[in-house]
Amino acid sequence: MEMDLAAVFDRPKRLWHSLTGGGLAVVEGESKPMRSVRGRKLPVAIRNALTEGSTLDAHKTRGGFWWATAPSLGLQSQVRLVAWAASDDNWGDILQVWTDMLAFAKGEHAVADRLTEALVNAWDRLTFLYELTHIVGQLTDLPDMLNSIVHLLAEVVSAEEVFLITGVEADWTSVTVSGDSLSLPPSIAEEIFRARRPVGLAELKPALEKAENPLAQAGDLLVAPLMSGDRPSGMIGLLDPHEARFDSNDVLLLASVAEQVGALIEAAQARIIREESRRLDHELKIAAGIQSGLLPDSLPSIKGLELAAYLQPARQVGGDLYDVAESETGESMLLLADVAGKGSPAAILSTVVRSVFRSEAPHSSDPGELLQGMNRLLYPDLDKAETFVTAVSVNLKSDSLGFSYASAGHVDIAIWRDHEQNVEFFPATGLPLGIYPKTSYYSQLLALHPGDTLLLYSDGATEAEDPKGAILGMQGLSDIIYAVHPAPVEEQIRVILESLDVHCHSQSLSDDVTLLMIRALPVSDVPVETIPFVIPTEFLAVRKVVDIVRGLGSALPIPDQDERMKLMEDFALAISEVVTNQIKHAFQGRKGQILGRVVVETDRLVADLYDSGLPFQLPEIPWEPIDINNPPESGYGLVLVRGLLDKFECHRLDGVRNHWHLVKEFAGGDMQ
Amino acid sequence: MKIEIEHPQPGKVVVRAQGRLDSDSAPAFKEQIRDVAQTELDFVVLDLEAVDFIDSSGLSALLSALKAIRQQGGMLNLCKLQPQVLTALRLTLLDRVFSIFPSVEDALSEADLQIP
């Protein structure tokens, strides 16, 4: 009996197309060499596979993926499938199963009259695989899916019971068509996992009998392991009271189903993990909002003082905090604290520290007493959590620049001394909070003078590491303050953070950074505008400095616009030459940073630039006029700087840093 | 730094530069002008209207371009200089080395006078 395979394949062809967006064709023997599948020219590799009868894995071509399946070995039939799909989603495996079944049906029963029935049966199973792929593709609720799979499977196999057992270790749950629960002893489960293929009753019977499992009495049993990657994730099986019910066709089908269900469980588990991490991320975002909301809305406004603070957590939430509260005597109590550890655990404790500060601060105007009280209250919680907190507290008075500080194991606080033009550091006055139940802290009296700046910070600032592991350190922090000290504190904080970013080469910080700055305003009537900056030692970054000068605009007290423009352009060029020179000569290609400030005074523009590069000696030789017929190609930088500026100096500071001083004078005018 | 090349007349090239000619952009600019010098042996007009900033590295690049073009027997004229660029050239006396014109047309007609 001749079978028209092309007609028989009409339905699978349509299924295949809706499934893969591709095409499918059947080839029987070598009598009908296929020229095209859905009008496409067959790739050479596929033509060769058809001639040689070899099996191909997914064969990528410009248009998509191609396969040709080999004829099933050991069978007389020469049925092969050629298929094309837009993407490779293991379609090759499905194709292989289809050919095997088809070959089997044709080879085994071609001479018998039951051919049609066998084929119909095969098509039911193809439809089943198609439906299964759809279930897998939709990935809804996992238990629902497993339930649909056993019912679907029950429709196409002649088995009384279909079961699916999933779980981890010995914690198995079963899904069955009958609704009964079903279990297998661990030893039998292990035997099935080891086999990594469908296992029949004959193989399992001795173990089942030994375990006195009721399945030993079954007529026939076929179980396949489910694998998620290399890990067993369950079993799928068929059960029937009739003996020898399942044949090699069922083995083939069950193997294919097991493979797909295994992948399905793996995908579902991955999805659960993804959703969990999305949920955590969402919660952390909310927590981050709550935590930043717990920072004070405003800092005290005290005559003669300028305050600013900033907290930058390394992760979404962190263990740093700062807060402010008023004491009974009307002093402003400031606190900056750092809970040891990172992320959520530290963040939870930081809110406890804040509450304790808020409850204690009103009763104490002495920072040492305050920390002592906070330690007493926090100790039990910190002890339980096996952690500690470093903290520094300062009291600010409304009528004097004198203040006192106490520090519980916190990093040294820094004071810019404007008169001395240096940074002084002051150490901790006691142990961190949470070390001992009773700790005393002494308060140190200090005073700011006009122009001085007090900086409280967390160690995230000084211990920020560059990619080679070098920390910024207290020296690095001093260098920044040295360069930016005349600027408003908000600006100083901006530059400190930018400088940390340059230091870390824009990698994200590994620890929270908190900065709290208090500046005693200088007593001066001279209106001065200071713009501090930091740039990495890269040529492109020089443009940032040029832009700062160009942006001065109306800050320059020169009424005439052309004159103002000319002054800005001249100064921009001069500063750009100096910074370029710093990058070329002081750093010679090494990574570093240049700190500086541009200051607008009433009758001059001043820039001070600092680098920690190699010493630079300004050439003393007076500049020779150039030979117009043979001008040198370089060496114009210093010519420009000297031509553009009224004053230009370079000093070596403390033997480690260069200080470049640029001055351009102008006829001061009244902007009004 | 962006440059556009135009051939308004046979043997003449107008190069329009755009952006800042500084230590960051000068090396690439030098290369681009050298390429022009290799292929166009006659007269090059460099239109600097859209160059609003030049520094000493930029000046070096211009000199390097001048030499490369002269070596090929060509000539380089600058035109449409912004005040900042003119200041830089004047301070370094390089305004005496380069021929500077107010417009592309002037720079091109100057080239005609030089053709033997």
Is pLDDT larger for residue A85 or for residue A346? Answer: A346
Res. A402 pLDDT band, cuts 50 70 90:
very high
Burial group, residue A47, by CB count within 10 angstroms (0-12, 13-18, 19+): middle
Residue A162: pLDDT above 70? yes
Contact (Cβ atoms closer than 8 angstroms) between residue A433 and residue A382: yes
B95–A contact, CB cutoff 8 A: no
Is pLDDT larger for residue A7 or for residue A499? Answer: A499
Residue A665: pLDDT above 80? yes
Q: What is the pLDDT of residue A557?
A: 85
Q: What is the pLDDT of residue A110?
A: 41
Average pLDDT over residues A347-373: 93
Interface test with A, best of B25, B53, B94 (most A CBs within 10 A): B53
Distance from CA of B30 to the nearest CA of A (A): 12
- The SS3 call for residue A578 is helix
Q: What is the pLDDT of residue A121?
A: 59
Is pLDDT larger for residue A328 or for residue A75? Answer: A328
CB < 8 Å to A632, chain B: 63
Average pLDDT over residues A649-658: 88
- Exposure string of A650-668, with b = 16+ CB inside 10 Å and e = fewer, is beeeeeebbbbebbbebee
Average pLDDT over residues A339-354: 90
Q: What is the pLDDT of residue A621?
A: 60
**Contact call for A576 and B55, based on CB within 8 A:** yes
Q: What is the pLDDT of residue A425?
A: 96
Rounded CA-CA distance A233/A66 in Å is 31
CB < 8 Å to B57, chain A: 580
**Contact call for B56 and A637, based on CB within 8 A:** yes
**Contact call for A631 and B94, based on CB within 8 A:** yes
What are the distances in angstroms from CA B23 to CA A437, A637, A638? Answer: 61, 11, 14
Rounded CA-CA distance B81/A8 in Å is 81
Kindly report the backbone phi and psi dihedral angles of residue A4, in degrees, each rounded to the nearest multiple of 5, phi listed first: -85, 95
**Contact call for A640 and B55, based on CB within 8 A:** yes
Residue A312: pLDDT above 50? yes
**Contact call for B57 and A631, based on CB within 8 A:** no
Q: What is the pLDDT of residue A149?
A: 79
**Contact call for A637 and B97, based on CB within 8 A:** no
**Percentage of chain A lying above the pLDDT 90 cut:** 39
Closest Cα in chain B to A633:
B60
Least CB-CB distance to A570: which of B24, B87, B96? B87
B64–A contact, CB cutoff 8 A: yes
Rounded CA-CA distance A17/A23 in Å is 5
B50–A contact, CB cutoff 8 A: no
B103–A contact, CB cutoff 8 A: no
Distance from CA of A569 to the nearest CA of B (A): 6
Average pLDDT over residues A270-299: 87
DSSP H or E stretch at residue A191: helix A186-195
B67–A contact, CB cutoff 8 A: yes
Interface test with B, best of A569, A571, A644 (most B CBs within 10 A): A569
pLDDT in tens, A299-311: 999 999 999 999 9
**Contact call for B23 and A625, based on CB within 8 A:** no
Res. B86 pLDDT band, cuts 50 70 90:
very high
Is pLDDT larger for residue A237 or for residue A46? Answer: A237
Interface test with A, best of B25, B67, B91, B97 (most A CBs within 10 A): B91
Rounded CA-CA distance A353/A362 in Å is 15
Average model confidence (pLDDT) across chain A: 83
Question: Global pTM?
Answer: 0.70
Closest Cα in chain B to A575:
B55
Res. A511 pLDDT band, cuts 50 70 90:
confident
Pick from A195-209, A273-287, A375-389 the range whose average pLDDT is largest.
A375-389
Average pLDDT over residues B101-112: 83
Res. A647 pLDDT band, cuts 50 70 90:
very high
Is pLDDT larger for residue A461 or for residue A78? Answer: A461
A80-84, A235-239, A446-450: the lowest-pLDDT one: A80-84
**Contact call for B56 and A640, based on CB within 8 A:** yes
pLDDT in tens, A422-475: 999 999 999 999 999 999 999 999 999 999 999 999 998 898 888 888 888 999
Average pLDDT over residues A214-235: 86
A150-154, A188-192, A324-328, B79-83: the lowest-pLDDT one: A150-154
pLDDT in tens, A89-146: 777 777 766 666 666 555 544 433 344 454 455 555 656 666 666 665 555 567 777 7
Chain centroid to CA A305: 40
Res. A218 pLDDT band, cuts 50 70 90:
confident
A177-181, A221-225, A470-474, A603-607: the lowest-pLDDT one: A177-181
pLDDT in tens, A578-605: 999 999 888 887 889 999 999 999 889 9
Sheet with strand A220-228: strands edge to edge: A171-176, A161-168, A231-240, A220-228, A199-200
